[in-house]
Amino acid sequence: MGAQVEGARACPLGGGIRRPAEKHAFHNVEYAQIPDDTPTPENYQTTSFHSLDDLKAFKRVGALLLMASKPDVRNPAPGYTIY
């Protein structure tokens, strides 16, 4: 991984993210999980998660940060022909 994001840790998905991205002509694929250590109030009402425990578990594991770039669009990807 290139530039480090403060608080980020290596993503256990590893090549499971890199390979599909590279297959679709992305380069410089980097990824990390960024945990959220901010407190969650016990009375917080979540609509995005099934329960407060699910939200806390997600925050502990961290959101996935995926960064990649594509080559110049004027240069076609391998195996792609512009007519």
pLDDT in tens, 23-43: 888 888 888 889 999 999 999
Residue 7 inside a domain? The answer is: no
Residue 62 inside a domain? The answer is: yes
Please give the pLDDT value at position 7: 53
69-83 average pLDDT score: 68
Q: Of 83, 76, 82, 66, which Cα lies nearest the Cα of 20?
A: 66
Residue 6 inside a domain? The answer is: no
**DSSP of 45-73:** --SSSSSHHHHHHHHHH-EEEEEEE---T
> Between these two residues, 51 and 73, which has the higher pLDDT value?
51
Tokens representing 14 are 């590893």
Residue 37: domain span: 15-69
Mean pLDDT of the chain, nearest integer:
79
Residue 28 inside a domain? The answer is: yes
pTM: 0.55
Residue 79 inside a domain? The answer is: no
Q: How confident is the model at residue 19 (pLDDT cuts 50, 70, 90)?
A: confident
Residue 78 inside a domain? The answer is: no
Q: What's the domain count of the chain?
A: 1
**Interstrand relation of 63-69 and 27-34 (parallel, antiparallel or unpaired):** antiparallel
